Amino acid sequence: MSESEQREGTPQTPPILSESPNPVTPRQFEDQQEAQRSFVLIPEHQQIKDFEMYSNSHRDIHPYTRPLTISDLESVLTLENTAFTDPNERASREKVGHRYLNSTSLKFLTWLTFIQLRYRLTRCGELCLGIFCTMTPGSDPKIETLATGRPVETSRKNGAISVLMGHVIAAKTHDLTASDASMGVPEGWEATKPPRTNLGHQEDGPQNKFL
């Protein structure tokens, strides 16, 4: 008898099948159905019974993102000043670099913030993102950037504008971590051919840093 004939005549042990980590069985289906029918009771003290406490403008906010441009400068500056009420936080050592450390003038610090943001939006605006929502003028006076919003479409009858709610200001750098140099503003950056410098945005830098 050949070896193949012996194998054919020998009873084979059935393979051991392990349970799937995600079995699809009637029991599992029943459990899923039961979970869908179940509900959770919210304690009375956590229930919201008066929705008038939330203005319609807040409930209708639908945020979206897009890259920032220099045309968004006023909104970005307004948001920066609103978020950081202390001017020393808006123009701290980490943001403006060594050559601005000795100034404590409120007017000067505000000017520095303007220069910083203008530089970023001009040189690397494609890395900077804004969170916007569409609102009608005067719909919510508590939103400071409402006054600096720009029209969504010129033909809109309600005059809807795009309002900045948050932003990310970033730049490229060769450093592994954000440094004073990467956060600085180089002199002559507005020139047609600005001089090469280690300060500020590095177009060939592999690292993206949020400033």
Number of separate domains in the chain: 1
* pLDDT tens sequence across 150-170: 888 777 788 889 999 999 888
- 152: in domain: yes
| Neighbour tally for 113: CB within 10 Å | 21
* Contact yes or no for 31/99 (Cβ under 8 A): no
- For residue 185, is pLDDT > 60? yes
Which of helix, strand or coil describes residue 175?
coil
Please state, in angstroms and rounded to a whole number, the distance separating the CA atoms of residues 9 and 2.
11
- 3: in domain: no
| Neighbour tally for 114: CB within 10 Å | 18
Query: Of 187 and 17, which is predicted with more confidence?
Result: 187
Residues contacting 101, CB < 8 A, separation 6+? 93
- 130: in domain: yes
User: 73 lies in which domain range?
Assistant: 55-172
